[in-house]
Structure 1
Amino acid sequence: MVEQGELAKEQAHFDAAWDAREKSRQLLQEAWQAAGGPNKVRALVKRSGEQKAKQLGGPEDAVAFGRFDRDGETLYIGNHCIANDERDLLVINWQADAANDYYAATVQDPLGVERKRTYSTTRNQIDTYTDTLFEHLARSLDELTGPEQWGVDDAILDDLEAGRTGLMRDIVQTIHASQNDLIRSPIDQLLIVQGGPGTGKTAIALHRISWLLFNHRDRLQPADCLVVGPNPTFTRYIREVLPGLGDEDVRHADLRSLGPQRGVGTAENPRVAQLKGDARMADLLKNALWQRVGLAERAERLTVGVEGLGPTFEREEIERELQRLRNGTYNDGRVAFRRFLQDQVARRSRSEVTAATIDNALERVWPQATPQAFLRDLLASRERMLAAAGAVERDFTVSEIRSLLRAPQEKLSLEAWSDADIALLDELDYLLNGRSQTYGHVVVDEAQDLSPMQLRSIRRRSRNGSMTVVGDIAQSTGPWARDSWDDVCEGLESDLPTTVEELSLGYRVPRQVYEFAAQLLPIAAPLVTPPRVVRDGPEDPTLTETASEDLALVAVRAARHYAGNGQFVGLICCDELREAVVEQFRALGISYSDASTGEIGKSINLASPIEAKGLEFDAVVILDPSGIVRSSERGHRLLYVALTRTTRFLTVVHDGVSMPIGPVSPGSEPDETPAVLTIASPPEAVTNGQPDGAVTRKKKTAPSLHAPSPRAVDRFTRSAAREIAAEVRDALQPGAYRSFLLALSEELGIDLGRND
């Protein structure tokens, strides 16, 4: 219970800290007036002062959100450090080492902390506060609820109940002990965080950047950090978190912008997209580019200028020089070869040879190239593709090359580049010009779907391999869907250690919703362990059956109902029904935002399951779950993604099947739904001060037995496997694959649990 005398005392401290902060802000904003020197210097001082003042927070911001007491000392925690004129610390910032125990203290291991206090404020006015008294809790440990023993306090639960706004918020006030451990882990590593829906992996990655920037100022600046998301919609969703923490200049990018040409998200056949993402494409592009360098096949010599008048170079001399210059980038070699021609012409020619004449000869031997023009022309030429593919160690088949071919647009500016094309353009840009801008730390979100070529593109942007990579294998879909993180580790590997961590507390998705969605896991991701669910939602999912022709209308009405009650809404459907939904929005005069354009509104948002990845809404309406499953080979995972986007309400609009899981094998019932663990029961054990299960840590291991490394399979075996797999897909329902593999292993005498 809040004591009024204590509340007044706390408010006095907040007021003193506010006064001290405003004095500091004013001094920083006025510092330029005392600066000497030219106007440019004064302007620079002014910009710097304004930026530092902004990092202290605005006058409307509360100075602190919590405090903790230890050994007679009281420390207040806020977003920024605040000191008075006597240099007394009134508030310490959350990134400081001294603030660690505020987050790390648990009932099982309080780390000497006696009291943890969390404030609820309106601007800088304290409305109320809640206390966690660790000694008292430890004496009555057996009487605590599961959430209390897990360290999920009222502040966390209140934050989870808060409405969404369309932009991700920071979680500084509610960082859980298990999240804190990952945020503050060492910088010099490749950290991969596996986490189910609502486990906070995106928030961890963003707050980790802020923590690294504060604690490694000697080697890391905001502009030296890169955050890569899957699409523009996701990038817009998370864009305000880091500026809100005072880190303004961190670069945000999506996969479509990681190259010399921005992609437009052109739809592409999944098989073609998979081929373009294959690591073999790196060798094909390299071969194709360097095959353009050299004299024409039947040419015996190169004449600069008119035959008989200009100097002549024999083939052997030209090839010797070309071989010498092939070690660097394409364009560096081209510049060096032009210099060679220029020098030799000056020595051999008695008449003046113009620069244009030299450039003409250069173009015949070492043609100019840009990534866009080169890729367009290459994909249009069967002969060039076959020639380049033939030199790849792991050969392409003729049918694969045929599927990659496409007719070029008349104008290069009209080429519509797909997401898979962007990684190819980036690879060509690297071959032509060398490495682009690099970063001291790279964060990659929704990394479970990245192709090997996209992994190469991201790895090139890391200066030394320091990265934080987050995602969920159960949400891995698309051409490069995977069942483990092994090949991601391999694609991003550097000399730094690799650590894989697993989050197992699910904060955002309500228990009722997750129990419904988890029915998909035996089919969608049988090797994934469901997270422990922190809280109940306000109600069970609503399952609405209607005629097929009315699906879009009923779904739009459900979205309107939620929006009318002030909810932030996501309406998720497959592409097949998108046009019907848009027609209903227009017919009913309902405004909405379209995630396919990168737009996120504050009311109703229309998205596909892919576009909804990483987003969260107060209420979600799923339209035609069976259609979502049919839309992709990984349709069950797409539906799992869609169902787990809500923090409160879920409505599923269907025409007879609300959960399309089907039988596991003909004539049988589905596997038992995996138990959805809650935190109603206390943790079984304590490890390193953390409740067992809050985070599972493991060092990088050998490739999974369930997913052998492609390099371990010879070409003939892989070809045979493709043919058999095609027959199996045609003969069986997707839900029967696992049972078929188990039966096949028994027939062949193979134990899938052993490394035979």
Structure 2
Amino acid sequence: MPAPQVTTHANDPLERERTHLSSSRAALRAMREDVEALDIKDVTANWVNAAVLERQIEDRITALADLAHTPLFFGRLDYTHAPGAEQAEGAEGEQFYIGRRHVHDADGDPMVIDWRAPVSQPFYRASKKEPMDVRMRRRFGYTGGELTAYEDEDLTDTSAADQASKLLQAEIERPRVGPMRDIVATIQPEQDEIVRAGIGGTVCVQGAPGTGKTAVGLHRVAYLLYAHRERLARTGTLVIGPNRSFLHYIEQVLPALGELNVAQATVDDLVAHVEVRGADRAEAARIKGDARMAEVLRRAVRSGVRMPEESVVVVRGSRRWRVPAYEIEEIVRELLGRDIRYGAAREALPQRIAHAVLVRMEQAGEAPDDRVQDAVARNAAVKAAVKAVWPAVDPVKLVLRLLSDAEFLAEHADGVLSAEEQAEILWAKPARGVKSAKWSAADAVLIDEAADLVARTPSLGHVVLDEAQDLSPMQYRAVGRRCTTGSATILGDIAQGTTPWATASWQEALTHLGKPEAAVEELTQGFRVPREVIAYASRLLPAIAPGLAEATSVREAAGDFAVRAVPGGELDAAVVAACRESLEREGSIGLIAADARIGVLGALLAEAGLPYLAPGEETTAEARLTLVPASLAKGLEYDYVVLDEPAAVVAGEPDERTGLRRLYVALTRAVSGLTVLHAEPLPGQLG
């Protein structure tokens, strides 16, 4: 493959491409101006419709923004024939520019094709073996938003072997400054298959570090919104991340692709029924997150149901209608047997009792209608009977009682949790009320489960769950409730599971999620982590995830990689020096350390005059160093990483396996270079 062409001659192809870029930007501005000029004063009938339409117009204007440093198009496809007319004799090929969004000229003719359109798919999948009717694929190189290079690939020349694209490599290795960016110009064939998978099924992506699984999930959302916009506009989409720092890091990806209305949240946000002010011991959190707790809660929710002891007598006018206790008991048992939501059954009970009264009315020769049934259902005697037989349940108060009342817990956990497990999750001091309770994050998930047992949780059209390996079974259930009638994209890496309840297999996780039929795709080809770095980190795989294949890297550059042993008294100075050295290079720098070391290192950096950011804060040209606790490193990436004392990272976790997984995460955050500094011996697995 020829090297990228860079010329400045007026009639050179590069100059013609620059002209097309200028024309496309002008067309995009015209499209935006057309929307800005819309007058809706006489279009809508009321202020509600006007407000909705105005919001839609504002979103459209925002989506049509021309981002100065974001290439409008990044590739071009020259088809051998006109798409859809491959067999037509004499059909001429067409040329399409592939970009982040659709742009058309004043006549409606496309100048840039959205990367999600079917005609764009060969840009990612075509090869000399399978050209997909593409004659030539062109990639463009940009510097600061200016088109500076192009690179052609002749897919009809089968005599030459496929070669790696230099521009593709350059884009992958471009320094990271600021939030996560899209990978729309670098999507690989195996990633594209996942991105364009149909909306009907759930996809689980097992991805080694640097394989782009997070970006794949976000681009899949963008693709589904393109292909099924009306459906998802009604049902909604949601991206779930592990923490706020992570969500802040990825939040600009979808807007850069023109998608503005995708909600983002953490699992804690989803189950925020109470204020979390407490924390569980690791074993207590593990038990509360166990799927067996769902059965304990189901029993507890239904525990208030009582069989009637008295008949219900309804007075209407001069007549008295009696429904005997045994008949009401039959209704109650039938509702219990149907296993419907507690609240739905409670709402059905008065209607069923009222129906029994109407039957008696009809037998007596009356002709009651639905209005009479509704009136009977609201009768004081019926309401009193329902309150006694099927009392209302407050999910928060129920969980409060379960965790603070030993007898209540023992009654409903009998045969499910052992006595030792019950004692572990029982609060040492019973809370005096809901407001005084020090709820933990695991408690909030239990409340969410109880709330769903009472009333069904609304379902979304599509949910993306990232870093899914760290969720407990009860958290999986909480997420699964949000997509019972929709689909999901599950992203994660078993080797990076760092919670005490981290999933052992994707099949187990998908079962808890309620999507056991989901397809599991494995990404092992890395694009972010340098070869030497991923090879070094992979030495830990036999100990932390023996069933996973070792990741490879397409990166030609080995990266800057060093492991340095320093005397104990010199470690702090060596870390500061390594950060200062890294800052002499272009790009972002992450100093990753055990959580217990963050305070010490922060003081050292301040003393050395090196300003630093917290995870999630946006790096700029002036502030490029981020001090990262190992517990928050997951999902983040930096051009250069300085890793402080691996042994301390491992020791900061409850057990060695979890500690080694945490270390694996820390080792694989680097894009261009990694420096490991240690005074204590390295874990034996690293050799």
TM-score range, shorter chain: 0.7 to 0.9
- 1:428 is displaced (CA, Å) by 0.8
Alpha-carbon separation, structure 1, partners of 2:547 and 2:206? 13
Contact 1:257 1:263 in 2 (8 A): no
Give the equivalent residue in structure 2 for 1:523: 543
Give the equivalent residue in structure 1 for 2:441: 419
Q: Does residue 70 of structure 1 match 2:79? A: yes
Alignment of 1:293-304 (within 5 A): 293-294=305-306
Contact 1:213 1:222 in 2 (8 A): no
Q: Does residue 270 of structure 1 match 2:277? A: no
Q: Does residue 640 of structure 1 match 2:661? A: no
Contact 2:484 2:514 in 1 (8 A): no
Alignment of 1:206-245 (within 5 A): 206-221=218-233, 224-245=236-257
Give the equivalent residue in structure 2 for 1:95: 116
Alpha-carbon separation, structure 1, partners of 2:608 and 2:235? 46
- 1:170 is displaced (CA, Å) by 0.5
- Structure 1 range deviating more: 233-242 or 43-52: 43-52
Alpha-carbon separation, structure 1, partners of 2:380 and 2:583? 66
Match of 2:56 among 36, 48, 51: 48
Change (3 A) 1:314 1:110: closer
Change (3 A) 1:500 1:339: closer
Match of 2:473 among 447, 452, 458: 452
Alpha-carbon separation, structure 1, partners of 2:411 and 2:146? 72
Give the equivalent residue in structure 2 for 1:700: none
Q: Deviations over 1:597-651 (max 9, x none)?
A: x656553333333321111112222222112223232211111111101112222
Q: Does residue 290 of structure 1 match 2:302? A: yes
Change (3 A) 1:287 1:249: same
Report the 3-state secondary structure (helix = DSSP H, G, I; strand = E; otherwise coil) of the residue aligned with 2:38: helix
The TM-score with structure 1 as length reference comes to 0.75
Give the equivalent residue in structure 2 for 1:80: 101
Match of 1:469 among 485, 490, 509: 490
Contact 1:622 1:651 in 2 (8 A): yes
Match of 1:32 among 23, 36, 39: 39
Report the 3-state secondary structure (helix = DSSP H, G, I; strand = E; otherwise coil) of the residue aligned with 1:211: helix
Contact 1:191 1:499 in 2 (8 A): yes
Give the equivalent residue in structure 2 for 1:204: 216
- 1:21 is displaced (CA, Å) by 2.0
Alignment of 1:88-237 (within 5 A): 88-121=109-142, 125-136=146-157, 138-141=158-161, 148=163, 152-221=164-233, 224-237=236-249
- 1:123 is displaced (CA, Å) by 7.0
Alpha-carbon separation, structure 2, partners of 1:174 and 1:490? 33
- 1:493 is displaced (CA, Å) by 4.3
Give the equivalent residue in structure 1 for 2:588: 568
| Structure 2, unpaired ranges of 5+ | 81-92, 314-321, 357-377
Q: Does residue 384 of structure 1 match 2:408? A: yes
Report the 3-state secondary structure (helix = DSSP H, G, I; strand = E; otherwise coil) of the residue aligned with 2:198: coil
Alpha-carbon separation, structure 2, partners of 1:419 and 1:509? 33
Change (3 A) 1:159 1:365: same
- 1:198 is displaced (CA, Å) by 0.1
Contact 2:208 2:526 in 1 (8 A): yes
Change (3 A) 1:552 1:320: farther
Match of 1:256 among 231, 252, 268: 268
Contact 1:509 1:644 in 2 (8 A): yes
Give the equivalent residue in structure 1 for 2:316: none
- 1:218 is displaced (CA, Å) by 4.2
Change (3 A) 1:463 1:229: same
Contact 2:97 2:112 in 1 (8 A): yes
Q: Does residue 501 of structure 1 match 2:527? A: no
Q: Deviations over 1:336-359 (max 9, x none)?
A: 668899999xxxxxxxxx999999
Give percent identity, aligned residues only: 33
Alpha-carbon separation, structure 1, partners of 2:447 and 2:184? 39
- 1:400 is displaced (CA, Å) by 0.7
One-letter amino acid of the structure 2 residue matched with residue 448 of structure 1:
Q
- 1:165 is displaced (CA, Å) by 2.8
Report the 3-state secondary structure (helix = DSSP H, G, I; strand = E; otherwise coil) of the residue aligned with 1:139: coil
Q: Deviations over 1:364-417 (max 9, x none)?
A: 765544333321221011101110011x5xx21100111010134445345443
- 1:164 is displaced (CA, Å) by 1.9
Change (3 A) 1:378 1:11: same
Contact 1:222 1:247 in 2 (8 A): no
- Structure 1 range deviating more: 197-206 or 265-274: 265-274
- Structure 1 range deviating more: 629-638 or 375-384: 629-638
Report the 3-state secondary structure (helix = DSSP H, G, I; strand = E; otherwise coil) of the residue aligned with 2:229: coil
Alpha-carbon separation, structure 1, partners of 2:392 and 2:257? 46
Alpha-carbon separation, structure 2, partners of 1:570 and 1:227? 25
Contact 1:629 1:638 in 2 (8 A): yes
Report the 3-state secondary structure (helix = DSSP H, G, I; strand = E; otherwise coil) of the residue aligned with 1:170: coil
Alpha-carbon separation, structure 2, partners of 1:179 and 1:161? 18
Alpha-carbon separation, structure 1, partners of 2:275 and 2:573? 33
Contact 2:538 2:551 in 1 (8 A): no
Alignment of 1:251-400 (within 5 A): 251-261=263-273, 264=276, 267-294=279-306, 322-323=332-333, 326=336, 327-334=339-346, 367-390=391-414, 395-400=416-421
Alpha-carbon separation, structure 2, partners of 1:446 and 1:212? 21
The TM-score with structure 2 as length reference comes to 0.82
